[in-house]
Amino acid sequence: MKPLPQLLIVDDDREIATLLVDYLARFNFTTHVACDGPHMWLELERHPIDLVLLDVMLPGVDGLQLSREIRQHSTIPVIMLTTRNSTYDRVMGLEGGADDYVSKPFDPRELLARIQTVLRRAKPHQDSAAVLLHSDVVHFDGWVLHRADRTLKSPTGLIVVLSNAEFRLLSTFLKTPRRLFSCDQLVEQARGRDMDVFERSIDLLVSRLRQKLAQDPQAPSMIKTVRGVGYMLNVQSVQGRSAWRN
């Protein structure tokens, strides 16, 4: 059975959040709620969120800044919710990485339609990730991963051999590049027969893979650490294809 889409509502207005939870449940959405930035990051760590409904006016860090921070770490869709309705505010929200912008007060039916539209736009990327995961050969930022023998070819032609755990970790990252993973999510998605070792040493495993992906000591690391949150593979282009086309 296909899992239900999971939404995260980030709004400090409990009444609005409760109304949205109840309304969206009628359309088979699983919803989670956060009241500010710190709680938002916690919920993003705990659940595989498909879309964020993000209020602009929040205590502490506002929604515009949070949207920019999300976009730095992930391609997860974001819809801004706000009482601000000027063209300038809309442009600021969209330039900050939001996928859509809905003004309060809003008709729940319109918001539902916006959510469904944004999720449909995101679906091709999700489908591509599923195809990519089963490709024989994966190209990313000049690197080539050969799944059959679990080896990497660097942009300079150097062959890099991966352990089973390193291969699973890299495959997990490549499935959704530029997505932020918590350590628990990496353990869950990259589990294997040597799970006990992997779970106790996820940080060490990421460090080993990062070293194998390092080319220029002066260049930024391909695996980015978000302190206190987790890791992400910071690559610009990922493509998969069958081995016979290589």
Q: Which residue has the tokens 């990259």?
A: 190
Question: What would the pLDDT profile of 108-163 be if each residue is shown by its tens digit?
Answer: 999 999 999 999 887 655 554 554 555 678 888 888 888 878 888 888 888 988 88
Q: Cβ(209)–Cβ(203) under 8 Å?
A: no
pLDDT at 245 over 60: no
The CA-based angle 215-125-64, given to 5 degrees, is 85
pLDDT at 34 over 80: yes
For CATH 1.10.10.10, list the domain ranges present in the chain: 134-245
So what CATH class is 134-245?
Answer: mainly alpha
Q: What is the homologous superfamily of the domain 6-131 according to CATH?
A: Response regulator (3.40.50.2300)
Q: Find, among 47, 30, 92, the residue nearest to 185 by Cα.
A: 47
Distance (Å, whole) CA 168 – CA 202: 12
* Contact residues for 210 (Cβ-Cβ < 8 A; gap 6+): 221, 222, 223
Can you give the length of the chain in residues?
A: 246
For CATH 3.40.50.2300, list the domain ranges present in the chain: 6-131
Q: 98: exposed, middle or buried (C-beta count within 10 Å: 0-12, 13-18, 19+)?
A: buried
Supply the mean pLDDT for the chain.
80
Torsion sign, CA atoms 23, 24, 28, 34: negative
Kindly report the backbone phi and psi dihedral angles of residue 161, in degrees, each rounded to the nearest multiple of 5, phi listed first: -90, 135
- The DSSP line for 168-229 is HHHHHHHHSTT--B-HHHHHHHT--TTHHHHHHTHHHHHHHHHHHH---TTSPPSEEEETTT
Task: Taking residues 215-239, report their average pLDDT.
Answer: 76
Residue 246's identity, in one-letter code, is: N
Bigger pLDDT: 20 or 127? Answer: 20
Give pTM, 2 decimals.
0.55
The CA-based angle 23-24-28, given to 5 degrees, is 130
Where does the pLDDT of residue 52 fall: very low under 50, low under 70, confident under 90, or very high at 90 and above? very high
Q: How far is CA 21 from the centre of its chain?
A: 22
* Contact residues for 77 (Cβ-Cβ < 8 A; gap 6+): 50, 51, 52, 99, 118, 119, 121, 122
